[in-house]
Amino acid sequence: MLTAAAGQAEVEPRDAEWIEVRTEPSEQGRQAALRLQAAIERALSRDCGCDCPEA
């Protein structure tokens, strides 16, 4: 339960634990992000055709 007191929000400990767990990336999500990043880097290096540092 959230309550406002003098401009501050208070979160019950149970809710704080849930929020912490929900904001941590899962290993599956982290691996998917790494695969996507690698695929984008490969696509950009092939399509660019130059030797710029970004490629």
Task: Please say if the pLDDT value at position 31 is more than 60.
Answer: yes
Count Cβ atoms below 10 Å from residue 11 Cβ, excluding itself. 13
Q: What are the residue ranges spanned by the domains of the chain?
A: 12-47
Q: Which pLDDT tens digit goes with each residue over 35-51?
A: 999 998 888 776 666 66
What pLDDT is attached to residue 55? 47
Of the candidates 47, 40, 46, 45, the one whose C-alpha atom is nearest the C-alpha of residue 55 is 45
Of the pLDDT bands very low, low, confident and very high (cuts 50, 70, 90), residue 1 is very low
Mean pLDDT for the stretch of residues 12-16: 61
